[in-house]
Structure 1
Amino acid sequence: MQIAKVQIENFRGILTGELLLSEHNVLVGDNNTGKSTILEAIDLVLGPERLSRQSIIDEHDFYGGDYLDMDKNPIEIKIEIVIINLNEEQHRHFLEHLEWWDTNTKQCLDSPPAESTDKPSVVPALRVGFKGSYDKDDDDFKTKTYFLSPISIENGELVNFRSSDKRVCGFLFLRTLRTGSRALSLERGSLLDIILKLKDTRLQIWEDVLSNLRKVPVAEKPELGVTDILSAVQKSLHSFVNSNWSDNPHLKVSDLTRESLRRILTVFMDTGAISKNGSRHTAPFQHQGTGTINILVLSLLSIIAELKQNVIFAMEEPEIAIPPHTQKSIIESIRNKSAQALFTSHSPYVLEEFEPSQILVLHRKAGKILGCSATYPPTVKPKAYRSEFRKRFCEALLANHVLITEGRTEYDAFPAVARRLHELYPEEFSTLDALGIAIIDAESDTKIAALGSHFISLNKNVLAVYDLQEPEQMTLIKSTIPNCFEAPEKGFEKVIVNGIADAALRRFGLSLVSDGLWPTHLSNQSPYITMPEQALRETILKYLTWSKGAGSAADLLGQCSKDEMPKFIVETISKIHILISPPKTVENPTV
Structure 2
Amino acid sequence: MKVRRVSIQNFRGVASGTVLLDSHSLLVGGNAVGKSTVCEALDLVLGMERLHRRPVIDEYDFHQARYRAGAAAEGAEPFPEVRVEVVLTELSQEARRRFRSNLRPWSAANDDFAPPVADDVAELVDGEWCLPVVFIGRFNEAEDDFEGNTFFAHPQRVEGTYDERELGGGLAVFRRDDKRYCGFLYLRPNRTGNRALSFGRGSLIDTIVRLESDQAGSLWTNALDTLGDIDLADTTTGFTEIRDQLLSRVRKFLAVPDERDAIGVRPSDLTREHLREVLRMFIATQPGTYPVPFNRLSTGALNVLVFALLTYIADLRGPGSVIFAMEEPEIALPPHTQRRLVDFVTTTMGQTIVTSHSPYVIERFDPNKIVVLTRADGLLTSSTIDLGNDVKPRKYREQRRQFAEAVLARAVLVVEGGTEVATYLAVADALDADPDTDYQHPDVAGLCLFDAGGDSRVPLYGPIFTAMGKTVFGTHDTPNAPLTPQQAACAQSFAIHLVIDHAGIEDLLVSEVSPDVLRRFLTNVRTRSDYPQQCGVLAEPAADDAAVDLARRVLKAKKGAESYCPLLIAECGRDELPATPVKFLMDIHTVLSTASAEADQAAEPARDESDMGESTMDRSPEAGDSAT
TM-score range relative to shorter protein: 0.7 to 0.9
Given candidates 303, 309, 314, the residue that maps to 1:294 is 303
Distance 1:77 1:516, change over 3 A: closer
Say if 2:227 and 2:270, in contact at 8 Å, map to a contact too.
Answer: no
| Equivalent in the alignment of 1:557 | 569
AA at the equivalent of 1:494: D
How far off is 1:357 after superposition?
0.9
- The structure 2 residue matched to 1:391, chosen from 397, 401, 426, is 401
Query: Are 2:468 and 1:462 aligned?
Result: no
Question: Aligned pair count?
Answer: 561
Is 2:463–2:490's contact at 8 Å kept on the other side of the alignment? Answer: no
Q: Secondary structure at the match of 1:132?
A: strand
Q: What is the deviation of 1:462?
A: 1.9
How far the C-alpha of 1:408 sits from its partner, in A, is: 3.9
**Does residue 1:496 correspond to 2:501, yes or no?**
no
Instruction: Work out which of the residue numbers 314, 320, 327 in structure 2 matches 1:316.
Output: 327
Residues 1:270 and 2:270 aligned together: no
The answer on whether the counterparts of 1:448 and 1:477 sit within 8 Å (CA) in structure 2 is no
1:328 maps onto 2:339 in alignment:
yes
Deviations 1:525-553 (A, max 9, x none): x3333232212211221332343323222
| SS of equivalent to 1:440 | strand
Match status 1:76 vs 2:81 = yes
AA aligned opposite 2:130? A
Unpaired stretches in structure 2, ≥5 consecutive residues: 73-77, 163-169, 257-262, 598-628
1:107 aligns with 2:112: yes
Letter matched to residue 302 of structure 2: I
CA drift at 1:98: 2.2
Is residue 595 of structure 2 the alignment partner of residue 577 of structure 1?
no
CA distance in 1, matches of 2:264, 2:124: 75
State how 1:301-450 maps to structure 2 within 5 Å. 301-308=310-317, 309=319, 310-376=321-387, 379-387=390-398, 389-423=399-433, 425=435, 428-450=438-460
Q: Distance in 2 between matches of 1:197 and 1:221?
A: 37
**Partner secondary structure for residue 161 of structure 2:** coil
The range that moved more, 540-549 or 285-294, is: 540-549
- The equivalent of 1:20 in structure 2 is 20
Is contact 2:232–2:264 with CA below 8 Å preserved after alignment?
no
Match of 2:543 in 1: 532
Answer yes or no: is 1:196 the counterpart of 2:209: yes
1:208 is displaced (CA, Å) by 5.5
Query: Quick one: distance in 1 between partners of 2:231 and 2:16?
Result: 52
1:16-41 deviations in whole A, cap 9, x for unaligned? Answer: 01111111110011111110110110
Q: Report if aligned partners of 2:413, 2:473 keep a CA contact under 8 Å in 1.
A: yes
Q: Which residue of 2 aligns with 1:588?
A: none
Matched AA of 2:413: L
Q: Secondary structure at the match of 1:169?
A: coil
Which SS does the other structure have where 1:30 is aligned? coil
Q: Say if 1:547 and 1:378 are closer, same or farther in 2 by CA, change over 3 A.
A: farther
Pick closer, same or farther for the CA change 1:253–1:112 going to 2, 3 Å: closer
Shift of 1:404: 1.9
1:205 aligns with 2:223: yes
**Offset from partner CA, 1:121-173 (integer Å, 9 cap, x none):** x1121111111111122222111211122344693632211111111210100
Deviates more, 1:171-180 or 1:392-401: 171-180
- Alignment-mate amino acid for residue 123 of structure 1: E
The one-letter amino acid paired with 1:159 is A
> Are 1:69 and 1:75, in contact at CA under 8 Å, matched by a contact in 2?
yes
Aligned partner letter, 1:573: L
Counterpart for residue 167 of structure 2: none
CA distance in 1: counterparts of 2:128 and 2:205, whole angstroms = 35
Q: Are 1:548 and 2:559 an aligned pair?
A: yes
**Equivalent residue in structure 2 for 1:519, among 525, 532, 549:** 532
Measure how far apart 1:522 and its partner are: 3.4
Letter in 2 for 1:562: R
Match of residue 144 from structure 2 = 139
Task: Give the aligned partner of residue 612 of structure 2.
Answer: none
The amino acid of 1:206's aligned partner reads L
CA contact (8 A) 1:501 1:565 kept: no
Higher RCO (CA 8 Å, separation ≥ 6 residues): 2
What SS does the corresponding residue of 1:433 show, helix, strand or coil?
A: helix
- Partner secondary structure for residue 504 of structure 1: helix
What displacement does 1:520 show?
5.2
- More divergent stretch after superposition (65-74 vs 108-117): 108-117
Q: What is the CA–CA distance in structure 2 between the aligned matches of 1:513 and 1:272, rounded to whole Å?
A: 49
Q: Hey, what does 1:260 align to over in structure 2? A: 274
- Counterpart of 1:19, as a letter, is V
Compared CA separation, residues 477 and 377, structure 1 to 2 (3 A)? closer
Unaligned runs of 5+ in 1: 232-237, 275-279, 585-591
Q: For 1:452 and 1:150, locate their aligned partners in 2 and report how far apart those are by CA, in whole Å.
A: 46
| CA-CA distance at 1:221 after TM superposition | 13
Closer, same or farther: CA 471–336 of 1 in aligned 2, 3 Å: closer
Instruction: Return 559-568 or 24-33, whichever deviates more.
Output: 559-568
Structure 1: how far apart are the matches of 2:125 and 2:387? 29
Secondary structure in structure 2 of the residue aligned to 1:320: coil
Structure 2 equivalent of residue 45 of structure 1: 45
CA contact (8 A) 2:14 2:380 kept: yes
Q: Which amino acid aligns with 1:331?
A: V
Tell me, yes or no, if the aligned pair for 1:406 and 1:448 is still in contact at 8 Å: yes
The answer to whether the 8 Å contact 1:2/1:340 transfers is yes
Matched, 1:61 2:67: no
Deviation at 1:273, TM superposition (A): 8.2
In 2 relative to 1, CA 84–253 (structure 1 residues): closer, same or farther, beyond 3 Å?
closer
Displacement after TM superposition at 1:290 (Å): 1.0
The amino acid that maps onto 2:303 is N
Aligned equivalent of 1:589: none
| Paired residue secondary structure (1:150) | coil
CA contact (8 A) 2:338 2:360 kept: yes
Q: Deviations over 1:428-454 (max 9, x none)?
A: 544321221101233444444442233
CA distance in 1, matches of 2:232, 2:79: 49
State which drifts further: 351-360 or 170-179: 170-179
Normalising by the residue count of structure 2, what TM-score does the alignment of the two structures yield?
Answer: 0.80
Q: In the TM superposition, what whole-angstrom CA distance separates every residue of 1:24-78 from its partner, at most 9, and x where no partner exists?
A: 1100111111101101101111111123333211111111111123487311111
Partner residue, 1:234? none
Kindly tell me: are residues 521 and 210 of structure 1, through their superposed partners in 2, closer, same or farther at Cα, counting changes over 3 Å?
A: same
Output one character per residue of 1:389-448: Cα deviation in whole Å (capped at 9) or x when no partner. 211121111011111224443222101121234345498544321221101233444444
State the match for 1:30 in structure 2: 30
8 Å CA contact 1:378–1:451 kept in 2: the answer is no
Residues 555, 563 of structure 2: 8 Å contact kept: no
Partner of 1:235: none
Contact 2:35/2:373 (<8 A) preserved: yes
Q: Which amino acid aligns with 1:28?
A: V
Cα offsets for 1:337-375 (capped at 9, x unmatched): 111100000011111011111111110011110111012
What is the CA–CA distance in structure 2 between the aligned matches of 1:321 and 1:371, rounded to whole Å? 28
Query: Within 2, Cα distance between the matches of 1:418 and 1:506?
Result: 23
Q: In the alignment, residue 492 of structure 1 is paired with which amino acid? A: I
